[in-house]
Structures are given as C-alpha cells and as structure tokens.
Amino acid sequence: MYEYIIGKVAAIHPAYIVIETNGIGYQIASGNPYRYSGKMDQEIKIFIHQVIREDAHTFYGFNSLEEKQLFLRLISVSGIGPKSGLAIMANDDHEGLIAAIESGDITYLTKFPGVGKKTAQQLILDLKGKLGELAGELTGEVPMELFTTSENPALEEAIAALQALGYSERETKKVHKQLLQEPIQSTDEYLRAGLKLMMKK
C-alpha cells in the first residue's frame, strides 16, 4: 500500500489533480483540487489512499497524514464510501466536523452530499470519542497564489468541482447566485466559500 507520492503538479481538474513523477502522471482524486493552484509545476508531497475495485484503481490524495487518517476513519463507517468521504473532507472545517460528531449534530452531518439521517447516525455511533487526537491538527491549507480575470472561469471551475463532489445542479445554481456577489477570487477561494454556503443551506 502506498503512503505518499512526491512529484510535480502537472494538471488540475474539478475532481482530481495529476502528479507527475519519474515520467508517470498519477491521477489523484481530491476534495478541493484547486487548493494546489499555486503549486503548478512545483514539487509537492501528497498522502494517498488507494482503493482497488474491479473496474478501477483510484488514488485519493490528502495534504497531510492527519487528513488521510480522518478520511480512513470516515470510510470505515457503513454507508460512507470514498466519494462521500472525500466530499466530507472537502470542507476545510474539519474541527467543526469532529465537533458535530462528538455532539451528535445530525442536521450538520446531513448537509454533506450522500449523507442521509441513517448514515449521519452511524457516523456518530462509530466515531464519537475516536477523533479527539486529530482535532487541532487539521488545517487543510496549502499556500497558493491569488489570480484574477476579467471574466469568471474561476467561479465556473468551482461550481464544476462542487458537482464533482456530489452536489446537485439545483444546489449549485443557488450557490452560484450567491457567489456572484463576491469579489472575483481564485477557484480555490470560490470553492471554499461555496462549501461554506452549502453547510448553511
């Protein structure tokens, strides 16, 4: 099993990034690929978890070992698959997630795509009291460059990334209108803002 990959960021897409190392480009699924926007063509270390199925071998990537450990805890819960786990991880408020699990906040947990009331209850049942050592170590931040444009492809990329995480077109349309009121920012910042809005709906 792989622990991490060190390589250059070769491409960024709504659902994944491509890390090139030793002449091979690895497609790595990420909750927020655009957090690496400021790292294009630079070497990074990304922690990975590989999921092997009959029809696909998929790498899921994380900025830190603590993020990876949280993801592994999430997908150990019945009803939480890798895609749902990644969608939960996309919101950088990991301490808020842990607090919701500890306090039994089902309403908060069911705001994530793919998480219904039954799955939220299972999350609380399985993980309550087991995530304390990760609290305070999960920041989710990667240094990045801010870029602006006269048009707004950054916002469109962020909406595509939200849909890749499992949010419906109806949900993203509502967020799109609210994000249009924001000053033009990077895709990463739009995506972060969009995820926060999703948790408030």
Task: Flag the least confident range among 33-37, 133-137, 172-176.
Answer: 133-137
- What is the structure's pLDDT at 146? 34
- Contact (CB, 8 A) for 67 and 89: yes
- What is the structure's pLDDT at 122? 96
pLDDT in tens, 117-171: 999 999 999 999 988 777 656 644 443 333 333 368 889 999 999 999 999 888 8
- Rounded Cα distance between 95 and 134, Å, is 8
Q: How many CB atoms lie within 10 A of CB 87?
A: 24
**Displacement of CA 62 from its chain's centroid (Å):** 9
32: left (phi over 0), alpha (psi -120 to 50) or beta: beta
Report the candidate in 159, 129, 147, 157 with the shortest Cα–Cα distance to residue 183: 147
pLDDT in tens, 2-15: 999 999 999 999 99
Q: How many CB atoms lie within 10 A of CB 100?
A: 20
